[in-house]
């Protein structure tokens, strides 16, 4: 990698694409501090990662030595745990513990800081067979009493809705979620992190909820009488105005992290446990009985009445580009994104039927995440078609990693939806600040095609619908290097639906 931030995001992308622990390494001081954004990103999205940093020698610690930074102090609030190793003999078990903690229970990033003198020491290598920590015992199996209580609520409900998050993916519980939803005929809406946890082409799929969710998902949340939250954390981008969120619903909350229960909303039946294990037990206890046909019909009606869409004005629309990527890749690509409008359109207009095909920075909203994440994803899944759908603002935040992709012959497809704006911020300035645009105009963007070529990648420009289709088809033929497509899209297109921050989620601007 060319920048430590890129390394952290690549480890993160690798972890999301494969389900394994991602690893990145950096030197001390500025190397370590450059990892910080990537570590915070993994922490917010519960991604298993181990970041190994160099540190000045033990004799120089605490003396403001050259390239010394207190990285364990700095990363304390953004890691699951971290270690400053003080003796070489501790390295084997701390490494084992780090990987164990990163992937066990609710996943997260771990930092291991290794002073230079310890890296040079010879020791008798003793590796523990297993790790057992008295102070870390996550509860995997849901309490049977709670599961019975949940089953009762489900049986009594007339308008149930499943709200599934990233926890379903980290728990590898997509199969169980599908079985559960089908057995009880309960519609499923997913968070941004939960995309792919439930097949989006399924008839029960209500797609994403929240700030840029579908109108029908948000209406469903506001009308349901039972909300079953599975591996999700009631984030403010999901709930909007908290007191007015799901006002008629009893809530069942399944999560492995007890601290998430009751953090943002009161819960009627909490179940602390691993999603896969809890769903397996719950499936045994429920239906098939009432199929609440009136409710499902109502949702079908909303789906038909408020579909996702955009106005075809003849210009090249960003949504059109994503629809074409979906059509041409037959929905099978791994889609990484940066952060902004292009991210929301990628969430809306590409349909994800399988987990680990949607790789996007959710909680932290890190611009510059997509390209390095795509590198990590492609390294982990060499046979997959990997896209980074980017904006012209975001792509410039880690564009140096094009070199890494070229050097490693990674055939990543970078689709820049270039509207010459920091589009999401521009949209807020248009709709909420009376079009007083401030620092969002990127009219002095560089020539992205030339940049791609300078790095040794392929650059293609597309300004019309025909050129866009040709560019995507062309990019799929290239197998030995990255391709950057510069799609010149309509400049002032907005992401809809849009729930302005602080409003209830059914108070959307739909178009």
Site stretch for other proteins (CB under 8 A), options 173-181, 259-267, 305-313, 323-331: 259-267
Which of 37, 55, 81, 404 is close enough to bind other proteins by CB under 8 A?
Answer: 81
Alpha helices in 166-313 (DSSP H): 166-170, 174-184, 215-223, 236-239, 275-285, 293-305
Helix 174-184 and helix 275-285: axis angle, to 10°? 20
Told to judge if 315 belongs to the known catalytic residues of this protein, a careful annotator would answer no
Cβ proximity to other proteins: between 40 and 204 the closer is 40
Shortest CB 135 distance to other proteins, Å = 5
242 binds other proteins (CB under 8 A): no
Least CB distance to other proteins at residue 111 (A): 12
What x/- string results for residues 99 through 138 when contact with other proteins is judged by CB under 8 A? --x-------------------------------xxxx--
Site string for other proteins, 441-480 (x = CB under 8 A): ----------------------------------------
Among 90, 117, 257, 507, interactor with other proteins by CB under 8 A: 257
> Which is catalytic among the residues 424, 429, 448, 485?
424
| Contacts of residue 122, Cβ cutoff 8 Å, sequence gap at least 6 | none
- Cα separation, 484 vs 457, whole angstroms: 7
Judged by CB under 8 A, the residue of 63, 64, 66, 77 near other proteins is 77
Q: Which of 94, 134, 126, 125 is nearest to 110 (CA)?
A: 94
Residue 327: partners with Cβ closer than 8 Å, 6 or more residues away: none
Residue 424 among the catalytic residues: yes
Neighbours of 237 (CB within 10 A): 18
Dihedral class, residue 284 (left if φ above 0, else alpha if ψ from -120 to 50, else beta): alpha
Q: Which of 139, 494 has the CB closer to other proteins?
A: 139
* Number of residues that make up the chain: 511
Nearest approach, Cβ of 32 to other proteins (angstroms)? 16
Name the minimum Å distance from CB 258 to other proteins.
Answer: 6
CA distances from 328 to 284, 350, 410, 471 (A): 40, 11, 20, 11
Closer to other proteins by CB, 135 or 201: give it: 135
- Min dist CB 241 to other proteins, Å, is 18
By CB under 8 A, tell whether 262 contacts other proteins.
yes
The distance of closest approach from Cβ of residue 136 to other proteins in the complex, given in angstroms and rounded to an integer, is 5
Task: Tell me if residue 465 is catalytic.
Answer: no
Is residue 116 part of the annotated active site? The answer reads yes
Q: How far is the CB of 133 from other proteins (least distance, A)?
A: 7
Is 4 in the active site? yes
Count of chain residues binding other proteins (CB under 8 A): 17
Nearer residue to other proteins within complex by CB, 256 or 279: 256
Cβ–Cβ under 8 Å, residues 82 and 47: no
Q: Which of 20, 96, 116, 250 is catalytic?
A: 116
- At 370 the three-state DSSP class reads helix
Site for other proteins, residues 374 to 433, rule: CB under 8 A: none
262 versus 332: smaller Cβ distance to other proteins: 262
The CA R_g of the chain, rounded to the nearest whole Å, is 23
Write down the catalytic residue from 4, 176, 200, 338.
4
Helix axes 144-156, 275-285, angle to 10 degrees: 60
**DSSP at 211:** T
Q: How far apart are CA 348 and CA 416, in angstroms?
A: 17
Binding to other proteins, residues 317-346 (CB under 8 A): none
161 binds other proteins (CB under 8 A): no
List CB contacts of 9: < 8 A, sequence separation 6 or more. 38, 41, 366, 368, 369, 372, 373, 376, 398
Q: Which stretch binds other proteins (CB under 8 A): 74-82, 207-215, 220-228, 429-437?
A: 74-82
Per-residue mark of binding to other proteins, 3-32 (x: CB under 8 A): ------------------------------
Torsion, Cα of 308, 419, 17, 354 (10° steps): 20
Write the CB contacts of 156 (distance below 8 Å, at least 6 apart in sequence): none
Task: Answer positive or negative: Cα dihedral of 352, 358, 363, 365.
Answer: negative
Helices vs strands, H then E, count in the chain:
20, 16
- Quote the least distance from Cβ 9 to other proteins, whole Å: 24
Neighbours of 314 (CB within 10 A): 9
At closest approach, how far in Å is the CB of 77 from other proteins?
A: 6
Tell me which residues are annotated as active site.
4, 66-67, 116, 424
Binding site for other proteins (CB under 8 A): 72-73, 76-77, 80-81, 84, 101, 133-136, 257-259, 262-263
């Amino acid at each position: 990698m060319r920048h430590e931030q890129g390394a952290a995001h690549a480890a993160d992308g690798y972890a999301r694409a494969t389900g394994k622990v991602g690893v990145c390494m950096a030197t001390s001081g500025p190397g370590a501090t450059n990892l910080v954004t990537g570590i915070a990103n993994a922490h917010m999205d519960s991604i298993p990662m181990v970041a190994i940093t160099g540190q000045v020698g033990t004799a120089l610690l605490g003396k403001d030595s050259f390239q010394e930074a207190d990285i364990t102090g700095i990363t304390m609030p953004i890691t699951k745990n971290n270690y400053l190793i003080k003796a070489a003999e501790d390295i084997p078990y701390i490494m084992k513990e780090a990987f164990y903690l990163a992937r066990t229970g609710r996943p997260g990033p771990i930092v291991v800081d290794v002073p230079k003198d310890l890296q040079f020491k010879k020791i008798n290598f003793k590796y523990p067979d297993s790790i057992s920590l008295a102070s870390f015992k996550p509860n995997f199996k849901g309490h049977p009493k709670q599961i019975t209580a949940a089953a009762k609520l489900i049986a009594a409900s007339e308008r149930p809705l499943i709200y599934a998050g990233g926890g379903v993916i980290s728990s590898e519980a997509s199969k169980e979620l599908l079985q559960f939803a089908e057995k009880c005929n309960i519609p499923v809406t997913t968070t941004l992190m939960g995309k792919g946890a439930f097949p989006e082409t399924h008839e029960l799929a209500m797609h994403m909820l929240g700030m840029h969710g579908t109108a029908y998902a948000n209406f469903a949340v506001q009308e349901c009488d039972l909300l079953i939250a599975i591996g999700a954390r009631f984030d403010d981008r999901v709930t909007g105005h908290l007191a007015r969120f799901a006002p008629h619903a009893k809530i069942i909350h399944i999560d492995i992290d007890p601290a998430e229960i009751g953090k943002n909303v009161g819960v009627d039946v909490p179940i602390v446990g691993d999603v896969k294990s809890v769903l397996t037990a719950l499936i045994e206890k429920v239906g098939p009985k009432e199929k609440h046909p009136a409710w499902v019909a109502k949702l079908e009606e909303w789906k038909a009445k408020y579909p996702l869409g955009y106005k075809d004005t003849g210009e090249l629309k960003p949504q059109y580009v994503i629809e074409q990527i979906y059509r041409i890749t037959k929905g099978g690509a791994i889609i990484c994104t940066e952060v902004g409008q292009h991210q929301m359109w990628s969430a809306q207009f590409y349909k994800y039927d399988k987990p680990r095909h949607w790789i996007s920075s959710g909680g932290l909203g890190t611009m510059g995440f997509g390209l390095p994440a795509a590198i990590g994803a492609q390294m982990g899944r060499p046979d997959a078609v990997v896209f980074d759908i980017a904006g012209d603002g975001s792509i410039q935040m880690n564009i140096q990693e094009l070199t890494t992709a070229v050097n490693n012959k990674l055939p990543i497809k970078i689709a820049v939806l270039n509207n010459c704006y920091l589009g999401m911020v521009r949209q807020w300035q248009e709709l909420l600040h009376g079009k007083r645009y401030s620092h969002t105009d990127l009219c002095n963007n560089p020539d992205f095609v030339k940049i791609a070529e300078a790095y040794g990648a392929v650059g293609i420009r597309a300004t019309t619908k025909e050129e866009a289709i040709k560019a995507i088809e062309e990019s799929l033929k290239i197998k030995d290097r990255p391709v950057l497509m510069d799609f010149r899209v309509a400049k002032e297109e907005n992401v809809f639906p849009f729930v302005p921050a602080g409003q209830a989620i059914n108070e959307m601007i739909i178009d």
